[in-house]
Amino acid sequence: MARSTGLRLEIKYITNADHVTAYTTYDSPTKNAIFNPGKTSRINVADFMAQLLVSHEEWNKWEGKMPVVYNAVDH
């Protein structure tokens, strides 16, 4: 039987952007989910996911966790 070793990305507020900007990742939300959920852009999430695919080090760091991605300027 295959072992499932996925991870779940939790995004509180997602926006559109034309290019990747600085972002930060956390093990859990650091903002209030109701009053100040934080923002990230789709392109930053895509960049983070691409890094997981190409970097074994990043994958191992986040495997089995639920990273939260925030745009750095919003955090």
Residue 11 pLDDT grade (very low, low, confident, very high; cuts 50, 70, 90)? low
45, part of any domain: yes
What is the per-residue pLDDT across 50-69, written as a single tens digit (0 to 9) for each? 999 999 999 999 999 989 89
36, burial (CB in 10 Å: exposed 0-12, middle 13-18, buried 19+): exposed
d(CA 25, CA 28): 9
Alpha carbon 59 to chain centroid, angstroms? 12
When computed from its CA atoms, the radius of gyration of the chain, rounded to whole angstroms, is 13
Query: Domain total for the chain?
Result: 1
Per-residue pLDDT tens over the stretch 13-51: 788 999 999 999 998 878 776 677 788 899 999 999 999
Q: Is 8 a domain residue? A: no
User: Is 9 among the domain residues?
Assistant: no
pLDDT at 2: 52
Instruction: Give the pLDDT confidence score for residue 12 in this predicted structure.
Output: 54
CA distance 68 to 30: 9
**44 located within any domain:** yes
Dihedrals phi, psi of 58, to nearest 5 degrees: -65, -45
